[in-house]
Amino acid sequence: MTLHRAVGVNCPNLKTDVVLLQKRLIQIKKSRQASPSGELDEETFIAITSVQRHFMRCPDGIVSPEGWTLKYLNRWSPKKVAATANIGNARLRQAWCLVSPLLPIGSYYSSG
């Protein structure tokens, strides 16, 4: 995904950029929107900060064309849990969901 201008509070928020970002947030299941609206709404802002919490102490809700948030969104890929793995613990599952998108391709959860 390539953005032309920044998306977020007090940013240009070009409709084409917002739609691209919303599609990606929906695809990775960070947004509950059914389809992109092209408007920076509260749901989109919450989804952006949810992604940023994976790697930022203080999420700012801004996705810049050359920024870290866009780089993470472009690489975002939740990893699999092996069929034989036990991941019944809710805290362990939560930790895996938080960390797995940031792990290298080919990573997977294999034991619990």
Could you read off the pLDDT of 6-53 as tens digits, one per residue?
999 999 999 999 999 999 999 998 999 999 999 999 999 999 999 999
pLDDT over threshold 90, residue 71: yes
The DSSP secondary structure of 37-66, one letter per residue, reads -SS--HHHHHHHHHHHTTT-SS----B-TT
DSSP H stretches of helix in 1-112: 15-27, 42-52, 68-75, 90-99
Q: DSSP label at 98?
A: H
Residue type at 51? Answer: V
φ and ψ of 108, to 5 deg = -160, 160
Q: DSSP label at 7?
A: B
Q: The whole model's pTM is what?
A: 0.80
Long-range contacts of 37-46 (CB under 8 A, 24+ apart): 39/13, 39/15, 40/7, 40/8, 40/9, 40/11, 40/13, 44/18, 45/8, 45/9
pLDDT over threshold 90, residue 86: no
Residue 112: pLDDT band (50, 70, 90) is low
Residue 14: alpha-carbon gap to chain centroid: 19
